Structures are given as structure tokens and as C-alpha cells.
């Protein structure tokens, strides 16, 4: 297996997980667990490692560069197992090897592994590690996204290793943004951000500001998942700032499920009203195995660059449909309300007598930080012509609001 060179003495030695399709509720076309080898004149360091079960790939790629026994230091930017799972094997292979991490990470590792005998070296922001012509600088990044998280910066080559931040979940033969292509790279970054980073948006903005004030030049960003940014670093950082600020398109995402196609008919008609006003719309039937619908993680990716979100459901035994309950729970966790610009929305749906789903959805939207612009629209059984006309008008109304935002 081959390592990939980033710069003189700097190599990607990670693992490609081609088969992963679900990662904590996120559907993905595989991923990579990126690890990096930095070979200085005096010492060699390994930055991050792999999910348990993927150590073999990493070790084979390391062997493409050096004898793994020549690794002098391990840098552990993050405790989560997808970046630390090889530590038990590495600490056996390299007894006493210094592991550079934050103080909080030591406790975290102790809860994941038997760390007896592990040689932790705790670091704080701007502490340095000299490898001989290669200087690693550590920057604590608490709660980005775990309390233990930190970034590592390789000064001479101007490479930032920010662990999960700026990553994307994709398994591919390409290692760099310009190989995968700008559009695909930014799309996968958007999905990663929409599902995992949105709740952290205020902290991300603060950290970006802090790093900017440090005045450190960054030529390359090498995250712990997906491709490495070298040609589109500015586009990616600009997108992160925009996403954190809630910058969105004149676009509405409609997400729903349906029992007898009544809520479906409402969704389609709302979309027609929105389109009639020249506003973009994405219609997402939730996926539950009955239909080839849209996975929740793809829906929130569309919501990230939409100004409005409409959620629909039939009432089933006084509740929302199970898929819609699942989606609302996920949306609450993602918390689009943390973005600097609020999104608007409302609920819609049909019922067979008592109703109730629309009220539940309205509450769910509010909990997720979305400003509801009405109390929702609920119809009995099947929408008739007048009710469909109302849906069309509601579509036009939300489109008008979007154009003014």
C-alpha cells in the first residue's frame, strides 16, 4: 500500500473505509480515517490514526515511508475512536512512545482504553514540538467537537491538521480537493458541516477568528476525514464562514412523509407556489423503506443553504409519522438555530379526524430554532380544490418572505 506525499517529509498514511454507509445517523459513501506522518531531520511523528479494525492499512502505508518502529512521537488531536483506535496497537509496538494531546484527552483516553503505561505529554495552545526542520505547533480547540479536541500546525510547510474540522465523509481514490473537484469537495464538506458542525457554529467562528489573529499562513488543510484541501482552501474557509453565518440561497426545503398521499399532494402544491415566485425548492420525502425517499442527513444538507423549511406529516394515532418524529429529533440535535441568521418555516399535513401532527411539528421547528411564520396548515382527509389553492398561496407567501430575507 502506498503513502501519499503532501510535502517533503509529510505523508498521508490513513485508511480508506469503502463500505461504511451509516455513521451515527448520517448516511455516507464510505469515509477515510486520515493519519499523517511527519518526518523531520531528527524525529518522526504520527498525527492521528484510525478506527479500530483499520490499523493494517495505516501500518502498510507507514511502511511505504519508514519502518514504523522509527516513529518517535504520536500526536492525538482527538479521543474519538475513529482517530485513536490504533493506539492500543501502537503503544504495544512502541512502548513508552510519547503521546501528545490535551490534558482533557488523557481522561478521555482512560475511559476508552487501558492506558496503563501510556506516556502522555499534555500540551496547551502554542506549545511546540521540534522534529528537526519540522515544527509542530498545537492549538487547543475545546468542543470542536469534543472537549479534548485540538489542531496541529506544521509551521515550515504551512499545513494545518484540524482533525474533524473541515473534513468530509467520502471514500475515494482521490486524496486532494483538486483531484476530486471543487464542486464535489465543497458538497461533501457542506454535508459534513450540516450534520455535524452546525451546533458548533458560534465556536467555529470564534476559532477561525483566533487562528486568523495568530497570523499563521495556511497553504494546506489536512483534516481527519476525506480529501486534503490544497487548491480550494480559501473557498472552503469562506464557505465555513458563510455557513456559520447562516448565509443561504433563495431556497425552500420541503420535508415530509405521507400515508395516503394527501400530505404528498400538499407538499407538491406548496412547491408549485414557491416555484411560481422564482424561488428554488427541494422536495424531500423521508425515507422509511416504503419509498425511495431522502435520508435525514441529506435533508439537513439542503436545509443548510435554504432560508426556509416546511415540514409535513399526517397525524397517526395523535402523533406525527415515525419518520417525521425521527427527522424532528435529528433536526433538534443539528440545531440550525445556532447559525447567525435564523431560518423560517411552518408545518403542514392531513388528518383523519382529530389532527395534531401540525402542532407537534410547529413545536419541533421552534425547538430547533426555526422561526415559524404561521401556526401551520392542516386539512381533513384529502385536500380539496380550495385547500390546494391555499397550499399554493402558502407556497407563494413563503417564497415572498424568502426573497426579502
| CB nearer ligand FEO, residue 24 or residue 69 | 24
| CB nearer ligand FEO, residue 105 or residue 270 | 105
CB 369 → ligand FEO: shortest distance, Å?
23
CB 281 → ligand FEO: shortest distance, Å?
33
CB 259 → ligand FEO: shortest distance, Å?
38
| CB nearer ligand FEO, residue 145 or residue 351 | 145
CB 317 → ligand FEO: shortest distance, Å?
37
Between CA 339 and CA 359 the distance in angstroms is: 24
| CB nearer ligand FEO, residue 338 or residue 390 | 338
Over the range 21-59, which residues count as b (16 or more CB within 10 Å of their CB) and which as e?
eebeebbbeebbbbbbbbbbeebbbbbbbbbeebbebbb
CB 307 → ligand FEO: shortest distance, Å?
29
| CB nearer ligand FEO, residue 227 or residue 286 | 227
Position of minimal CB gap to ligand FEO: 80
| CB nearer ligand FEO, residue 83 or residue 296 | 83
Residue 11 backbone zone (phi > 0: left; psi -120 to 50: alpha; other: beta): beta
| CB nearer ligand FEO, residue 73 or residue 192 | 192
CB 402 → ligand FEO: shortest distance, Å?
34
- The vertex-336 CA angle with 333 and 342, nearest 5°, equals 150
Q: Tell me the sheet residues that pair with 32.
A: 16
CB 173 → ligand FEO: shortest distance, Å?
21
Contact positions toward ligand FEO, by CB under 6 A?
A: 78, 80, 82-83, 145, 164, 224-225
Amino acid at each position: 500500500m502506498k503513502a501519499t506525499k503532501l510535502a517533503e517529509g509529510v505523508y498521508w498514511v490513513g485508511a480508506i473505509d469503502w463500505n461504511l454507509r451509516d455513521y451515527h445517523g448520517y448516511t455516507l459513501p464510505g469515509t477515510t480515517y486520515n493519519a499523517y506522518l511527519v518526518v523531520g531531520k531528527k524525529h518522526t511523528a504520527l498525527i492521528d490514526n484510525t478506527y479500530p479494525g483499520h490499523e493494517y492499512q495505516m501500518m502498510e502505508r507507514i511502511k511505504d515511508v519508514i519502518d514504523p518502529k522509527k516513529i518517535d512521537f504520536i500526536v492525538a488531536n482527538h479521543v474519538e475512536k475513529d482517530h485513536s483506535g490504533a493506539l492500543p496497537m501502537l503503544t504495544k509496538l512502541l512502548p513508552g512512545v510519547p503521546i501528545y494531546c490535551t490534558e482533557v484527552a488523557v481522561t478521555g483516553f482512560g475511559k476508552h482504553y487501558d492506558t496503563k503505561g501510556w506516556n502522555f505529554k499534555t500540551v496547551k495552545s502554542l506549545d511546540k514540538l521540534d522534529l528537526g526542520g519540522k515544527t509542530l505547533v498545537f492549538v487547543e480547540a475545546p468542543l470542536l467537537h469534543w472537549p479534548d479536541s485540538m489542531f496541529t500546525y506544521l509551521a515550515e510547510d504551512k499545513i494545518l491538521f484540524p482533525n474533524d474540522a473541515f473534513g468530509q465523509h467520502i471514500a475515494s481514490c482521490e486524496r486532494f480537493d483538486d483531484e476530486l473537484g471543487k464542486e464535489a469537495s465543497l458538497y461533501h464538506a457542506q454535508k459534513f458541516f450540516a450534520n455535524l458542525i452546525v451546533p458548533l457554529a458560534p465556536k467555529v467562528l470564534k476559532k477561525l477568528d483566533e487562528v486568523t489573529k495568530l497570523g499563521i499562513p495556511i497553504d494546506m488543510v489536512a483534516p481527519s476525514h476525506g480529501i486534503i484541501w490544497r487548491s480550494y482552501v480559501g473557498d472552503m474557509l469562506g464557505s465555513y464562514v458563510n455557513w456559520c453565518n447562516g448565509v443561504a440561497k433563495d431556497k425552500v426545503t420541503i420535508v415530509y412523509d405521507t400515508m395516503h398521499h394527501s400530505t404528498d399532494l400538499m407538499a407538491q402544491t406548496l412547491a408549485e407556489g414557491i416555484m411560481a415566485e422564482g424561488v428554488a425548492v427541494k422536495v424531500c420525502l423521508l425515507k422509511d423503506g416504503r419509498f425511495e425517499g431522502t435520508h435525514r442527513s441529506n435533508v439537513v444538507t439542503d436545509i443548510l443553504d435554504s432560508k426556509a423549511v416546511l415540514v409535513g406529516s399526517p397525524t397517526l394515532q395523535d402523533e406525527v409519522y415515525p419518520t417525521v418524529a425521527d427527522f424532528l429529533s435529528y433536526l433538534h440535535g443539528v440545531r440550525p438555530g445556532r447559525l447567525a441568521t435564523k431560518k423560517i418555516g411552518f408545518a403542514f399535513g392531513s388528518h383523519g379526524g382529530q389532527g395534531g401532527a401540525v402542532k407537534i411539528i410547529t413545536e419541533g421547528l421552534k425547538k430547533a430554532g426555526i422561526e415559524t411564520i404561521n401556526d401551520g396548515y392542516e386539512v381533513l382527509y384529502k385536500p380539496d380544490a380550495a385547500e390546494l389553492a391555499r397550499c399554493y398561496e402558502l407556497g407563494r407567501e413563503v417564497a415572498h418572505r424568502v426573497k426579502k430575507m
